[in-house]
């Protein structure tokens, strides 16, 4: 059975096709600058990368081109081979705690929750509508980023603000990166051979979040009402004093929206280093002796360690700490710095094992009180698996 995973952005479209019998990735592609001049796509198939510059005025055209090319390239002989499509949807509010087959009601809810994710849900919906139009007989499934964290208890997701904000405006912690945290939690279960474990998952990329996991379920997570709070990220500030917004807005004659935009797009590694939002560039600055780059890395490590320490106490001890996502899977020095600061918890790093990138590996010593792993995430496969299980 072939399942397609789709992740639709405001001007992009990503897809992957899996053969679910052996969970094999058959092909993947990325369509960029959809609706913008200079649009193009790349498709990876059979060890080759196919690039084509082509105008795509909207997502319907992008989907039509995608489906045309996967047949012409022989990825599938007939579109009927694709039995279902799983769509990444960022926000499902507090209604959806698992993936669901897309119905008219689900579409209405995705629209309703667009106020909570105005940059993402409308774009996700574009992909859903385009696929439904092009493949009217195929089952479509919504896989929500927020769903995995719906197991949090009220004391974890509620904010100490006027309760009417929660009742009337849906203000609460939702958490994000749920598809990744769910995938990694299942890998930990496989490694441990049981669901009876306590873990902290560190999804560290340009965006980043940590989650506290008990028996395979999310107990707490670092992102909140939006993806802005939590640890420092590529361009996001993470946790700050909320009074800063009004203060800076007043001093700089800015609106609150403009200050919030700066916290989302001009902060984090970019804001502190003044060099780049990409860790690789910042680390190069560290090696060159750039003090602001060093400060950015030190601050980043501190924010991650702070959350690990908090979740360690919240869980009453931890069996596993897992690093995942682009930075977590590849940034050897950051993993080392984090683990060194966790020595007080009994973490012992195997430096030879840590000197690897992008592969599943245990990087703690055998006498470490907590097992530390690098576990590559695979959100596209998680979407496909949820879709397969539903149909």
pLDDT confidence of residue 117: 85
The predicted structure's pLDDT at residue 118: 84
Q: What are phi and psi of 361, to 5 degrees?
A: -160, 145
What was the pLDDT predicted at 119? 76
pLDDT at 120: 85
Beta carbons within 10 angstroms of residue 224's beta carbon: 19
Question: 222 with 128, same domain?
Answer: no
- Considering the domain architecture, whether residues 38 and 98 belong to the same structural domain is answered as yes
- Residue 108 has a pLDDT of 96
Q: Where would I find the H helices in 193-290?
A: 243-252, 256-265, 268-273, 279-287
**3-class state of residue 381 by DSSP:** helix
Report pLDDT for 59: 87
Q: Are residues 203 and 127 in the same domain?
A: no
pLDDT at 134: 87
- Do 303 and 354 meet the contact criterion of CB atoms below 8 Å apart? no
Does residue 140 fall inside a structural domain?
A: yes
The answer on 223 and 337 residing in a single domain is yes
Q: Is residue 173 part of a domain?
A: no
Is 366 among the domain residues?
yes
Domain final residue pick, 78, 113, 144: 144
198 and 336 assigned to the same domain: yes
| 3-class DSSP assignment, residue 17 | strand
140 & 200 share domain:
no
- Concatenate the DSSP letters of all residues of 170-181 into one string: --S---S-HHHH
Pair (31, 98) in one structural domain: yes
Q: Could you give the residue numbers annotated as active site?
A: 145
Does residue 283 sit within a domain?
A: yes
Q: Is 115 helix (H, G, I), strand (E, B) or coil?
A: helix
Cβ atoms of residues 96 and 109 within 8 Å? yes
Tokens of 38: 């200079």
* 6 falls within a domain: yes
Q: Can you list the residues of the chain whose pLDDT is less than 50? A: none
Shared domain check, 365 and 223: yes
What pLDDT score does 334 carry? Answer: 97
Looking at the fold, whether 256 and 348 belong to one and the same domain comes out as: yes
Integer Cα distance of 211 and 322 in angstroms: 10
Is residue 183 in some structural domain?
no
In a domain, 22, yes or no: yes
State the residue range of the domain holding 375: 194-379
Answer yes or no: is 307 within a domain. Answer: yes
Phi/psi at 48 (5° precision): -115, 155
Q: Which CATH number is 51's domain given?
A: 3.30.420.40
CA distances from 71 to 75, 77, 81, 124, 290 (A): 6, 6, 10, 24, 51
The verdict on 220 and 127 lying in the same domain is: no
In the 8-state DSSP scheme, what is residue 344? G
Number of structural domains in the chain: 2
């Amino acid at each position: 059975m072939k399942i397609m995973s789709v992740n639709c952005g405001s001007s992009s479209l990503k897809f992957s096709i899996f053969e679910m019998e052996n969970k094999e990735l058959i092909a993947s592609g990325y369509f960029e600058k959809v609706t913008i001049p200079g649009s193009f796509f790349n498709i990876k198939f059979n060890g080759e990368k196919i690039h084509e510059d082509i105008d795509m005025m909207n997502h319907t055209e992008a989907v039509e081109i995608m489906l045309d090319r996967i047949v012409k390239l022989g990825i599938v002989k007939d579109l009927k081979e694709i039995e279902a499509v799983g769509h990444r949807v960022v926000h499902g509010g507090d209604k959806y705690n698992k993936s669901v087959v897309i119905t008219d009601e689900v579409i209405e809810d995705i629209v309703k929750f667009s106020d909570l994710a105005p940059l993402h849900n409308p774009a996700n919906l574009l992909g859903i509508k385009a696929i439904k139009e092009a493949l009217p007989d195929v089952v479509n499934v919504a896989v929500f980023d927020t769903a995995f964290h719906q197991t949090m208890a009220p004391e974890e997701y509620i904010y100490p603000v006027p309760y009417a904000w929660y009742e009337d405006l849906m203000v609460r912690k939702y958490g994000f990166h749920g598809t990744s945290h769910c995938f990694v939690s299942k890998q930990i279960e496989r490694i441990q051979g049981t669901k009876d474990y306590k873990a902290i998952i560190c999804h560290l990329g340009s965006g980043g979040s940590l989650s506290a996991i008990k028996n395979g379920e999310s107990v707490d997570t670092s992102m909140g009402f939006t993806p802005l709070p939590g640890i420092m990220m590529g361009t996001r500030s993470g946790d700050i004093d909320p009074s800063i917004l009004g203060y800076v807005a007043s001093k700089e004659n800015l609106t609150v929206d403009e200050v919030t935009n700066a916290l989302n797009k001009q902060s984090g590694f970019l804001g502190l280093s003044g060099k780049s939002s990409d860790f690789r560039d910042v680390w190069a600055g560290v090696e060159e002796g750039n003090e602001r780059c060093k400060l950015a890395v030190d601050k980043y490590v501190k924010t991650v360690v702070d959350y690990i320490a908090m979740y360690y106490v919240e869980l009453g001890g931890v069996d596993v700490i897992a690093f995942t996502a682009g930075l977590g899977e590849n940034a050897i020095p950051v993993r080392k710095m984090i683990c060194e600061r966790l020595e007080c918890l009994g973490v012992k790093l195997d430096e030879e094992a840590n000197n690897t990138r992008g592969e599943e590996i245990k990087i703690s010593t055998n006498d470490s009180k907590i097992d530390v792993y690098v576990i590559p995430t695979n959100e596209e496969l998680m979407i496909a698996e949820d879709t397969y299980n539903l149909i």
